[in-house]
Amino acid sequence: MELSMQEFQELSKFIYKLCGLDIKEEKHYLVKQRLSHLALSFGSGSFQGLIDKIRTGSDTRLRDQIIEAITTNETFFFRDVHPFDTFRDLILPRLGEIIRQRKASPHQRKGAKVNIWSAASSTGQEPYTLAMLIHEYVTANGHRGITLQDFGILATDISTGVLSKAIAGKYTDMEISRGLSPERRDRHFRKDGNMWAVSEALESMVDFRRVNLTEPFTMLGGFDVIFCRNILIYFDDDTKRRIFLQFHQALPDTGYLMLGACENMNMLSDKFESSRHKDTILYLPKKTPVVAFAQK
């Protein structure tokens, strides 16, 4: 099935509107490869037919299937290792301190959680990695008054397909072996038929929700830590600017933003400063101190 340059441009414009992916001409082959089955089933065997169907705008199922087909969902446990070492060694102890301060303060709501967001979480390996580290931290620090309930993890993605898999929390032998030691596998997963199912403890720590990062997301509220890794590379600069601005609003001055190995802010936001911890670059929000005016 042929995909003309004009058809490619129409489809890539539609994909951009749908999920912000900025697909350049050299990825013509990718659009052809990933959408040809949809052209067959929805477009009577041609890309023009698929475009006509898209133009009617009535089929939300088609929109979802285009998202499923075009997005790259590659992920694995402890991806790149060092960001999670930094989370364990630097961020978690500071979150522990924040929890203790919040619990001790008479002005804070008792039990106010620290919130961690895995944005573009794919099939769940990233949020479950964070949950494993928190579980291990709490087990080691339980005597200091910190519990699993002090942490909330929100995992979001645009694709309902990957979210369903993440919610099910079941992984094949191959998936479980990617990044996970046998010790952690046996500690946090149990065998379920020919799959590995995440433990109830980890399952209860993560909430999943569909969020399109190219649409406003300030309604999600505030977070102490945001992991947004291996998705910004697919967006253009305008989209990234809008996302950074909202991340800045969502984080307190003690917050952390973590990007993927090939991603950086690259002059797109002056609202963060970067800080290195071993091999990890952390982005720290710059916040103007609130000035209290004395009342006359």
Ligand X SMILES: C[S@@+](CC[C@H](N)C(=O)[O-])C[C@H]1O[C@@H](n2cnc3c(N)ncnc32)[C@H](O)[C@@H]1O
Positions that interact with ligand X (CB under 6 A): 19-20, 71-75, 79, 120-122, 126, 157-159, 162, 212-214, 229-231, 260
Nearer to ligand X, 152 or 234 (CB): 234
Nearer to ligand X, 33 or 108 (CB): 33
- Least distance (Å) from ligand X to the CB of residue 282? 16
Cβ closest to ligand X, residue 67 vs residue 95: 67
Q: Which helix (H) or strand (E) holds 115?
A: strand 114-119
Minimum CB separation of residue 121 from ligand X in Å reads: 6
> Closer to ligand X at the Cβ: 242 or 248?
242
Burial of 154 (0-12, 13-18, 19+ CB in 10 A): buried
Kindly report the backbone phi and psi dihedral angles of residue 9, in degrees, each rounded to the nearest multiple of 5, phi listed first: -65, -40
Question: Closest distance between ligand X and the C-beta of residue 239, in Å?
Answer: 8
Instruction: Tell me how far, at minimum, the Cβ of 160 lies from ligand X, in Å.
Output: 10
| Cα–chain center distance at 121 | 4
Q: Which amino acid is at 225?
A: V
Q: How far apart are the first and last CA of the chain?
A: 76
CB 29 within 8 A of CB 248: no
Least distance from ligand X to the Cβ atom of residue 76, Å: 7
List beta partners, residue 274.
283
Q: Which ranges in 204-296 belong to alpha helices (H)?
A: 237-250
Nearer Cβ to ligand X (73/139): 73
